[in-house]
Amino acid sequence: MTTKRQVKASKTQKARPEKPKKSKATKAEVAEGKTEAKERPQPKKKFDVEFYRDWCKGCGICAAFCPSAALSMNEKGEPETAQPDLCIGCAWCEIRCPDFAVSVRERKEEVCEL
């Protein structure tokens, strides 16, 4: 008699197709360019955080909820973008602001025209 586990195991072994093994490229193939090109990763998006100073009461919620520590409070008690390149664009600061004084937008690429 076979148990349920043995029957189940035999069914799963038959159903799984074998994966083809990946072979490593030789130095000659790499030099000749015969290997498959890997896709290059996309550049990381950058974001700008804008504060509407007239609306802001300086509560610090935006800086407290920032997961990447891109925002901080200055000595006057106002929020500022201390490290703008750390901003990941999650917009938690914008969502949590009780006064709607924060805006997060994707940074546009600067194009130089000659």
Q: Containing domain of residue 91, as a range?
A: 50-106
Please state whether the predicted TM-score (pTM) of the whole model is above 0.75.
no
Q: What is the CATH number of the domain that holds 99?
A: 3.30.70.20
Domains contained in the chain, number: 1
Q: Which amino acid is at 72?
A: S
Q: How confident is the model at residue 107 (pLDDT cuts 50, 70, 90)?
A: confident
Across 19-45, average pLDDT: 66
Round to whole Å and give the CA distance between 94 and 81.
Answer: 13
42-93 pLDDT tens trace: 778 889 999 999 999 999 999 999 999 999 999 999 999 989 889 999 999 9
Instruction: In whole angstroms, give the CA distance from residue 74 to residue 81.
Output: 9
Q: Look at residue 109 and tell me whether its pLDDT is greater than 70.
A: yes
